[in-house]
Amino acid sequence: MLIRKGTFLLTRQLHLGRPSYTKAASILQGSTWEIDGKVLQKDDRWNLSPAVLRLLERQLLNEPANPLALLKQRLINFFHKEYRKPGNRSPLFTVCDREPRVVTVFDNFDSLLVPKDHVSRRASDTYYVNAENCLRAHTSAHQFSLMKQGLDNFLVIGDVYRRDEINSTHYPCFHQVEGVRLYSPEELFGNAQHRDFELFEDVERTKEKQGKLTEDATKALEISLKSTLEKLCDTFFGQCEKRWVDAYFPFTHPSYELEVFYEGKWLEVLGCGVMEQKLLNDAGITDKAGWAFGIGLERIAMVLYGIPDIRLFWSRDSGFLSQFSGKAPEDTVKYQPISAYPQVTFDVSFFLPPNCEFNDMSADVYDTIRTVGGELIEQVELTDEFTNKKKNTKSQTYRIVYRSNDRVLTKEEVNIVHKEVEKQLIDQFGVKIR
């Protein structure tokens, strides 16, 4: 479900982190907290746990081998290619992926017209630093200030935080992309026609539209919004069946969700709508109207890459990460489940025989390791290469990750296989083990 019962917020998703207890402990004791260049005074509303402090440190989108980082780049590439400034010189959408993750309560809720008594404001739902500041619960929290700064077309990408129980589909941190596009009348209706159409009027609000925006403006925005998002969806999922579902968000009207029929199931992809004109007016914009959308990245990445559990995004297991590292954002990657049994890692280092080139050697080494180790070899990586000019020697180091699909391997039994790898490298290619 994109919409949670009783709230408008996208379903939250989950994670596994590695502890850094001492840092978290010292943060918990101090009266101030520093994050993303801000120093904040804690007060009695502070409810950040050691676990969420650890999540804040990780920043998955900055890890190039993380599938979420690949998906983020794929989405940016789409917008940069499809939408250019007049003259085609530069991308239309500004990418904002370094916004501070602590925002004001005003930015996270009030600016977006979230009612004062909305459940999402509760201390049981949101991480508060103090009475005025919280961790952003959605990337929408940056709409107001970015518009105020004068941006018309932008994408906000980042990690968002919500307090929740932890289970297979919920976790306190997940990742979102926000898109906003503002139009002047000329941009919306075209230079030639815009005099025949109005953006604004002042009538009763209906189920179909806001009172302040004309039907023409509402329709034109809806067409632009839906065609943009359908195209985006096609780049992710190919030409799939899609459907638009009416929705409710406090900051858009009318509001929609987009669903795609992918691999036999309807999947909710995003929430969006025509931006509430009050939001723009409050940000000082009185001559434009616009649309906005919000996408949760985890859900899409899981479907696209076949990742069965949200916790895997936070895995540091090289069996997971190596399947994505070095991939281009547009590559098709299907995740192969990794074994639940632990890895055993051994290095092999050797001098190459005289007159042997690095490149010639590596292909043979990979083959030999796989031949000897068979199913037990999960990964082989060339980790070091070195030429000693004086002694006229070349050496290489390979890291071999051993893992079984059906049992725990002991160091002793892996050592036997590893010794055989070394023996074969010596016998077949004349290397000298270091």
Tell me which residues touch ligand DAH (CB under 6 A). 8-10, 138, 140, 178, 249, 252, 271-273, 292-294
Q: Which of 178/378 has CB closer to ligand DAH?
A: 178
Q: Which of 55/421 has CB closer to ligand DAH?
A: 55
Q: Which of 116/407 has CB closer to ligand DAH?
A: 116
Check: CB of residue 209 under 8 Å from CB of residue 273: no
Q: How far is the CB of 75 from ligand DAH (least distance, A)?
A: 14
Q: How far is the CB of 273 from ligand DAH (least distance, A)?
A: 5
Q: Which of 24/157 has CB closer to ligand DAH?
A: 157
**E strands within 169-326?**
173-183, 241-249, 252-262, 265-275, 289-296
Q: Which of 53/272 has CB closer to ligand DAH?
A: 272
Q: How far is the CB of 121 from ligand DAH (least distance, A)?
A: 14
Vertex 139, ends 133 and 142: CA angle to 5°?
65
Q: How far is the CB of 35 from ligand DAH (least distance, A)?
A: 21
Q: How far is the CB of 160 from ligand DAH (least distance, A)?
A: 7
Query: Which residues lie closer than 8 Å to 380 by C-beta, 6 or more apart?
Result: 365, 366, 369, 370, 398, 399, 400, 401
Of 394, 335, 389, 399, which Cα lies nearest the Cα of 366? 399
Neighbours of 257 (CB within 10 A): 22
Number of H helices, E strands in the chain: 12, 15
Q: Which of 279/421 has CB closer to ligand DAH?
A: 279
CA distance 99 to 139: 9
Coil/strand/helix, residue 245: strand
Q: Which of 9/372 has CB closer to ligand DAH?
A: 9
Neighbours of 255 (CB within 10 A): 19
CA distance 364 to 301: 35
Of 332, 95, 82, 331, which Cα lies nearest the Cα of 230? 82
Q: How do 265-275 and 289-296 pair as beta strands?
A: antiparallel
Q: How far is the CB of 46 from ligand DAH (least distance, A)?
A: 23
* Alpha helix stretches (DSSP H) within 14-155: 21-29, 50-58, 67-82, 105-108, 143-148
- Transcribe 300-347 into DSSP letters: HHHHHHT---GGGGG---HHHHTTTTT--TTS---PPPPPSSPPEEEE
Q: How far is the CB of 278 from ligand DAH (least distance, A)?
A: 14
Check: CB of residue 240 under 8 Å from CB of residue 262: yes
Check: CB of residue 121 under 8 Å from CB of residue 6: no
Q: Which of 249/398 has CB closer to ligand DAH?
A: 249
Q: How far is the CB of 99 from ligand DAH (least distance, A)?
A: 14
Q: How far is the CB of 167 from ligand DAH (least distance, A)?
A: 19
Q: How far is the CB of 10 from ligand DAH (least distance, A)?
A: 4
| Nearest position to ligand DAH, beta carbon | 294
Query: Which residues lie closer than 8 Å to 129 by C-beta, 6 or more apart?
Result: 33, 40, 42, 45, 46, 48, 102, 135
Q: How far is the CB of 141 from ligand DAH (least distance, A)?
A: 8
